[in-house]
Amino acid sequence: MYRRIDPTADCGIQVFGKDLKALFENAGLALFDLVADIRLVKPGPEYPVQASGSDWPDLMVNWLRELLYFWSGKELLVKEIEVLEIFEYQLSARIRVEPFDATRHRLNQEIKAVTYHRIQVTHLPTGWEAIVVFDV
């Protein structure tokens, strides 16, 4: 009656940072580099962003979901991220964005959602690493 198929409907990233602040900043910038060529985005208006979670992986997912909303809900591309404070499973940040302009910006792919599939945030001797999978 039916057959299950497994389409390629996700993509993943491995992100690095010398500390948690850099890890979360780099993850956010990687997300927007997947969405669009961020070299073409100019920093504009500034917005505060806050996220919390039950552990580091949950915080990473919630953080990236907050950032993704700027694109999917407001059509704003993030150019700059500064994590102001990060402590046990909470962060506050400041981002700078530019409204999407089809004449200047080149979209790479649609990111529908940040998933918990394979999520990892790991402290290593050399810093921090995260693995994040997105639904595309």
Residue 73 makes CB contacts below 8 A (sequence gap 6+) with none
- Over the chain, what is the mean pLDDT? 93
Q: How confident is the model at residue 66 (pLDDT cuts 50, 70, 90)?
A: very high
Q: Closest by alpha carbon to 131, among 107, 106, 114, 110?
A: 114
CA gap 72, 64 in Å, rounded: 12
pLDDT attached to residue 6: 57
CATH architecture of 11-135: 3-Layer(bab) Sandwich (3.55)
pLDDT attached to residue 125: 95
The pLDDT > 90 percentage for the chain reads 88
State the average pLDDT over residues 63-74. 97
